[in-house]
């Protein structure tokens, strides 16, 4: 029973974390260079939906998924380059 409760707690924590994640995305090369966006997962129906729509590869999505708060990563999407900072 204790193991089941721990698993439930872990799953709920992951769900709540998904709903609470926020990134600042800076476009530093390509179309829209110099623009920044706030990406709040509360506005989406699935994790990393914004990144998937922008063409992030599976390996990139895995890195974004593992980001800690205040961590910054850069991604080359071909014609566009993004700098992401997880803020929440």
In angstroms, the CA 41 to CA 17 distance is 10
| Weakly modelled stretches of the chain, pLDDT under 50 | 18
What pLDDT score was predicted for residue 53?
A: 96
pTM, entire model:
0.75
What pLDDT score was predicted for residue 15?
A: 54
The alpha-helical segments, DSSP class H, found in the chain are 2-20, 49-53, 58-65
Domain count, the chain: 1
For residue 45, the enclosing domain spans: 2-86
């Amino acid at each position: 029973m204790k193991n089941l409760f721990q698993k439930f707690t872990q799953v709920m924590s992951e769900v709540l974390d998904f709903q609470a994640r926020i990134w600042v995305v800076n476009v530093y090369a390509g179309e829209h260079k110099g623009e920044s966006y706030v990406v709040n997962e509360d506005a989406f129906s699935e994790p990393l939906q914004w990144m998937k729509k922008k063409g992030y590869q599976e390996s990139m999505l895995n890195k974004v998924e593992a980001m800690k708060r205040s961590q910054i990563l850069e991604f080359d999407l071909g014609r566009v380059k993004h700098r992401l900072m997880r803020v929440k």
